[in-house]
Amino acid sequence: MKVLFAPSIPWLISQNEHIPDSGPDPMPFFNALKKHGVECKIIDPYKRPWNPFAGKDTLLQSIDLLRALRIIFKERDADMVISVFEGAACSLGALRWLLPSHTALVLWEIGLTDWKLRNEIINFTLPKIDELLVLGSNQIDYINNNHKKCPNISAIGHYIDTNFYKQVPLCPNGFILSVGDDVGRDFQTLISATADIERNLAIKASRHAPACSRPNVRVIRERIRHLALRDLYANCAMVV
């Protein structure tokens, strides 16, 4: 079985330049699939000038029509194409009639936001895919109630490198931590919900970092290494 991954951001660089114990290892996931007879291939978004939106918003960058055409005409032996977020699935869905009939089109996670363009792309894409994979079962009802129907939705959880993120004793007096650069994060609601809690709050976000002047709220906007991120997880009492 051959599976293509079409991510919204470049994945191959992180694979090729990974240094052991410097961060989560991306390879065990693909090695596990290989043991089960699944041949995986990653096709990153093209760079400029072939992709005019390269380096811009990840949604626009990942639509990448040239990549879609490459998948359709150069990878016709693929049994499945997995679009990581909705960009690649949008362009492939628009050209679905050109995909081989044996090739399944799967969407792995979508951006749940109030951005009108993103929602229009999602509603255009969902009816054209074969399966939607989400990280949490709580997303299923929301998607069914707020977006056009797709054939099937499955909650698969999140891959975690447990060799890098090792279990440590709970830090009961630690802070509340929230981490994420995806546009679906509602940090302002989290800040409001913790206003009356006598507990420090740490938010790690670069692209959509909230503004907050509360002394017990720490917003980390700068990029940090995976080792520093691991320390944040180890020293907090709760992750939201």
Per-residue pLDDT reduced to its tens digit, 72-118: 999 999 999 999 999 999 999 999 999 999 999 999 999 888 889 99
Among the ranges given (24-38, 83-97, 128-142, 180-194), the one the predictor scored with the smallest mean pLDDT? 180-194
Per-residue pLDDT reduced to its tens digit, 35-64: 999 999 999 999 999 999 999 999 999 999
What's the pLDDT band for 194 if we cut at 50, 70, 90? very high
**Contact of 185 with 204, CB cutoff 8 Å:** no
Give the residues across from 238 on adjacent strands.
176
CATH architecture for the domain at 2-155: 3-Layer(aba) Sandwich (3.40)
- Domain chopping of the chain, boundaries: 2-155, 175-239
Q: What is the dihedral of CA 101, 106, 111, 115, to 10 degrees?
A: 10
| DSSP code for 46 | P
**Contact of 133 with 106, CB cutoff 8 Å:** yes
The answer to whether the peptide bond before residue 215 is cis (omega within 30 degrees of 0) is no
Q: Rounded CA gap, 23 and 19, in Å?
A: 7
Q: Rounded CA gap, 115 and 72, in Å?
A: 29
